Each structure stands twice: as C-alpha cells, then as structure tokens.
Amino acid sequence: MFYRGRYVDGADGREMGAKRQRVIDQGPSFYGASPGPSFMYNPPPYGYVSHPPPFPVVRLRGLPFDCTEADVFDFFHGLDIVDILFVHKGGKFTGEAFCVLGYPMQVDFALQKNRHNMGRRYVEVFRSKRQEYYKAIANEVSDARGGSPRRSGSRARSYDEAKESAEHTGVLRLRGLPFSAGKDDIVEFFKDFMLSEDSIHFTMNAEGRPTGEAFVEFANAEDSKAAMAKDRMTLGSRYIELFPSSVEDMEASVSKGR
C-alpha cells in the first residue's frame, strides 16, 4: 500500500484505516536492452495467505556523490519507483540510498542491476528491510530538525533567520517532495489554508520528470508567511523545506521543464 509518498504494509496499512490511498501507476515492462515477452510485467494477485508480502526495498551503495534522484530513476528504468532516500552522515552524502519499489517481485529485477555502472562508478544493489528503511528516514528527519551536527548551530540560525526576514509575496517554493506527490497531497499538507489545485505548480527537468520541487500560490502574503510553520515537516517519508518565493521565480522555474 502506498500512502502519500510512503510505502506501508501489514499493520502500518491497517492503521491507515479509511484514509485515502494513492494508486501507483504500473509500468508496462522492466528494464532491458531489448524488452520482449519475458520482460513484460503483470503484477500477480497477492496470494499470501499466512503472511503479508515482503516489503519491496533495496539498498544501493557506491553511488556517485553528485547522484540525483533522476539518476537512480534511470538506473532502474522500467521499474515502479515509489521512493528514493539518500543517506547522509554528518551532513554529507554517504553514497548510499534506499529505493522502494512498487511490487515485491520487482526486487529480484532490481538486484540484476548489482555492479552495473552509474557514470564511471559501479553500484552495488542488495536486499534491505522495512525497518532499515524506516530507521534511515528517522535519521534524515532528525538531522533536518537539528538532531545531529548536519548543520552547525550558527549556520542553522542564520539559515532560519534568512527565511524569517525574507519578503513574502504569497508564493512559497517547496523542496524535497516525493516523486509521486500529487496536487492533492500538497492540498492536504496545507489543509489549514484554502488552496485550489490550480495554485500548485510542479517543476520538471529537461526529460519531463519531477524535480521534487513545486511552487504554491496562497491567497495573500499573510497566508504564505503563516504557512511557513510547515517548514521541515514531513509529507510521507520526506521532510519538506519551504522558501518564500515570487511569481517571477515560479514562472521561470516552471517554464524550464516545458
């Protein structure tokens, strides 16, 4: 089950109760140089009687230090990627990441990419567990909220002071969104404000894929300033950073992906 940027199963899924779920679009095939019938993927009916299906997550090691989510997406081309979580330590990228897939059977296909190259580096791919993925999420969120030396105290204070002193025009830029986030997720994130889906604008890269950023137009500057209280709160498995922006910046950024 996929809920707002986070894959959940078993007890986690039941806890969601009647909350709305997002449906993952299923890709037509797995990656392969010459996809044929053997690569066509049809998710099997879940016939797990005695236990729930395994959590579909793999861990990557040896990633280039300038690696982006789009690079991982390309590396696993053809698989349904639900979430990509880069692992940091002391504020620096470790070259490791977790990748949550859409279906348990896709893990076996992802493992076939073990020791394949990403740029000039070969990447190790191995099985992981739900608990390891959730622990990594907790560590990243803790870092972002100042729970570790990811940012020095003085640097964090100046960073926050700059945000607080910035002029508000009614537009906020969001950074760190899950690839799968939709406009309804952002409406829910800002549920204390009256937002329409037309006021939400995602940015895309040159290939037309989400960058993990979006712009939101609020009714007025007072609302956008009040919405900054949501800075570094989580949407699914991701903490979201908010920045005061402008209509000009929004239009320039959105037009780049067209």
Residue 236 CA to residue 241 CA, distance in Å, equals 13
Q: What are the start-end ranges of the H helices in the chain?
A: 10-15, 69-75, 106-111, 130-144, 153-165, 183-189, 221-227, 247-256
249 and 187 inside one domain: yes
Which of these, 67, 130, 125, lies nearest to 93 by C-alpha position?
67
Q: Please indicate, yes or no, if residue 196 is contained in any of the structural domains.
A: yes
- Domain boundary (146, 170, 202) is at 146
184 and 222 inside one domain: yes
Q: Please indicate, yes or no, if residue 241 is contained in any of the structural domains.
A: yes
250 and 164 inside one domain: yes
Q: Please indicate, yes or no, if residue 79 is contained in any of the structural domains.
A: yes
- Domain boundary (108, 126, 146) is at 146
Q: Please indicate, yes or no, if residue 40 is contained in any of the structural domains.
A: no
Query: Whole domain around residue 245: which residue ranges?
Result: 156-256
Q: Please indicate, yes or no, if residue 52 is contained in any of the structural domains.
A: no
169 and 142 inside one domain: no
Is-contact 238 176, C-beta < 8 A?
yes
Read off the CATH number of the domain in which 103 is found. Answer: 3.30.70.330
123 and 171 inside one domain: no
Is-contact 30 109, C-beta < 8 A?
yes
131 and 190 inside one domain: no
- Domain boundary (99, 128, 146) is at 146
164 and 142 inside one domain: no
98 and 162 inside one domain: no
The order of strands in the sheet holding 238-245 is 200-204, 210-217, 171-175, 238-245, 233-235
Identify the pLDDT of residue 3.
Answer: 39
169 and 90 inside one domain: no
Q: What is the pLDDT of residues 235-251, one digit of tens each?
A: 876 778 898 999 999 99
95 and 180 inside one domain: no
Query: Structural domain tally of the chain?
Result: 2
Q: Please indicate, yes or no, if residue 33 is contained in any of the structural domains.
A: no
Q: What is the pTM of this model?
A: 0.49
Which of these, 78, 72, 71, lies nearest to 28 by C-alpha position?
78
Residues pairing with 12 in the sheet? none
Q: Please indicate, yes or no, if residue 42 is contained in any of the structural domains.
A: no
139 and 160 inside one domain: no
Q: What is the pLDDT of residues 113-166, one digit of tens each?
A: 999 999 889 999 999 998 898 888 888 776 655 554 444 444 444 445 555 657
Which residues does the chain have with pLDDT short of 70?
1-52, 142-165, 237, 257-258
Tokens for 111?
């493992």
86 and 112 inside one domain: yes
Q: Please indicate, yes or no, if residue 165 is contained in any of the structural domains.
A: yes
